[in-house]
Amino acid sequence: MGSTRDYYEILNVDRSATDDDLRRAYRRLAMRWHPDKNPAGKAEAEARFKKITEAYNVLSDADKRAVYDQYGEEGLRGEVPQPGGGGGSDDIFSEFFGSTPFTYCNTAGGGGGGNARGGRQPPPPPKWDSGFCRAYRRDQGGGGGGAASSTMAPPPPPVESRLACTLEELYMGVTKKMKISRNVVDASGRMKTESEILSIEVKPGWKKGTKITFAGKGNQQWNQLPADLVFVVDEKPHPVYRRDGNDLLAEGRVTLAEALGGTVVVLAALDGRELAVDVGGGEDEDEEDAPVVCPGYELVLPMEGMPIAREPGRRGSLRIRFDVAFPERLTRRQRAQIKRALEDSTTGAF
């Protein structure tokens, strides 16, 4: 055989290998030499992967294999060796069919007819303009996609998993360790389960729905690249604060006396600080006009909200919305005192 490459040797199988033998050998070698699994030696891996795929494409096809066994690579290229220095391909066709050459049509189970010696022969080598050879050229990367794309299926859709974070973790940032177990195909072509601990660095200011992708860390199926594993940030409810974009919302409740006379509300910040918030009293004791807290009143504290992930050093605001608890009952004397105080007010608001 005039072949320059031995496809059986490339796949490391006997010439009597069955279809199952070929599939197992291909899976084992394809997983070992796939370029994505050999980033350090990608050029060599690509070359080996191409040879492995080419060998499997030929030997797994009964007609191609028959031509290859009889004529080698020259036969696949339509270059039939002249037996005994004879008259070329025309003589071969005349010997098989007693007529001029024709384009071989690849049909399932088609026979090649008998020769003058009465024995059955492998089908004649195809010419390059036949459908058989056009398909073979596509397999070798001559059009319609390369060899890898015709044998290795694309990875499945990403697998998403919830990453639950407290509001404090999203405020301060945190590193989370996640243990995963997944199915993979090893170098020998066997399916196995492996475990791994992934480290996820949650940045300050990340929002619910932020995605962290680990390429190729999902489950793998036969003849398919592993899926990507995607963690999606989720936010746990907080007893005091609620997030609104980059702002934090909190609810405050004061009595009517505190709303009118002023008070100080103390809140625990997400980083552990104590926030003492002056409500309605005014910053200057001599100030004549101070705001009065009414139901629905909102006090805004700039730079006390969530960090802005893409703008280091900047934060949103803390917005405190107040509710006023009115007394359920008052004595006549209390009513008269309140009325007199309000009537004497110089603001004219009542």
Average pLDDT (122-137) is 40
Is residue 67 located within the same domain as residue 15?
yes
Asked whether residue 148 is domain-assigned, the answer is no
Is residue 335 located within the same domain as residue 285?
yes
Residue 27 has pLDDT above 70, yes or no: yes
Residue-wise pLDDT tens digits, 86-127? 444 344 333 333 443 333 333 333 444 444 333 344 444 444
Who has greater pLDDT, 146 or 35? 35
Residue-wise pLDDT tens digits, 31-73? 888 888 888 888 888 888 888 888 898 899 888 888 888 888 8
Asked whether residue 27 is domain-assigned, the answer is yes
Residue 246 has pLDDT above 70, yes or no: yes
Residue-wise pLDDT tens digits, 285-311? 555 566 788 888 899 999 999 999 989
Residue with tokens 């907080």: 238
CATH label of the domain that carries residue 58: 1.10.287.110
Who has greater pLDDT, 321 or 327? 321
Who has greater pLDDT, 146 or 202? 202
- In terms of residue numbers, what domain contains 204? 159-235
Q: What is the separation of C-alpha 292 from the centre of its chain, rounded to a whole number of angstroms?
A: 53
Interatomic CA distance for residues 322 and 299, integer angstroms: 8
**Tokens at residue 176, please?**
């989370």
Residue ending a domain, choose from 194, 219, 235: 235
What pLDDT score was predicted for residue 257? 85
Q: Which residues neighbour 209 within 8 Å (Cβ) at sequence distance 6 or greater?
A: 232, 233
Q: What is the tally of structural domains in the chain?
A: 3
What pLDDT score was predicted for residue 261? 82
Q: Which residues pair with 248 in a beta bridge?
A: 243, 318
Q: What percentage of the chain carries pLDDT values higher than 70?
A: 73
Is residue 264 located within the same domain as residue 335?
yes
What pLDDT score was predicted for residue 197? 95
Interatomic CA distance for residues 182 and 123, integer angstroms: 47
Is residue 194 located within the same domain as residue 254?
no
**Tokens at residue 54, please?**
């080419």
Q: Which residues pair with 176 in a beta bridge?
A: 200
Average pLDDT (224-250) is 94
Is residue 321 located within the same domain as residue 251?
yes
What pLDDT score was predicted for residue 110? 41
Residue ending a domain, choose from 181, 209, 235: 235
Is residue 211 located within the same domain as residue 269?
no
Weakest mean pLDDT among 98-112, 151-165, 335-349? 98-112
Residue 277 has pLDDT above 70, yes or no: yes
Residue 217 has pLDDT above 50, yes or no: yes
Average pLDDT (75-92) is 52
Is residue 199 located within the same domain as residue 271?
no
Residue ending a domain, choose from 235, 253, 269: 235
Q: Are strands 274-279 and 263-268 parallel, antiparallel or unpaired?
A: antiparallel
Cβ(44)–Cβ(26) under 8 Å?
A: no
Asked whether residue 252 is domain-assigned, the answer is yes
What pLDDT score was predicted for residue 155? 72
Asked whether residue 128 is domain-assigned, the answer is no
Interatomic CA distance for residues 21 and 12, integer angstroms: 10
**Phi, psi at 92, each rounded to 5°:** -60, -50
CATH label of the domain that carries residue 338: 2.60.260.20
Is residue 249 located within the same domain as residue 302?
yes
Is residue 225 located within the same domain as residue 248?
no
Who has greater pLDDT, 85 or 338? 338
Asked whether residue 140 is domain-assigned, the answer is no
Is residue 256 located within the same domain as residue 321?
yes
Asked whether residue 137 is domain-assigned, the answer is no
- The average confidence (pLDDT) of the chain is 77
Asked whether residue 152 is domain-assigned, the answer is no
Is residue 215 located within the same domain as residue 301?
no
Is residue 338 located within the same domain as residue 246?
yes
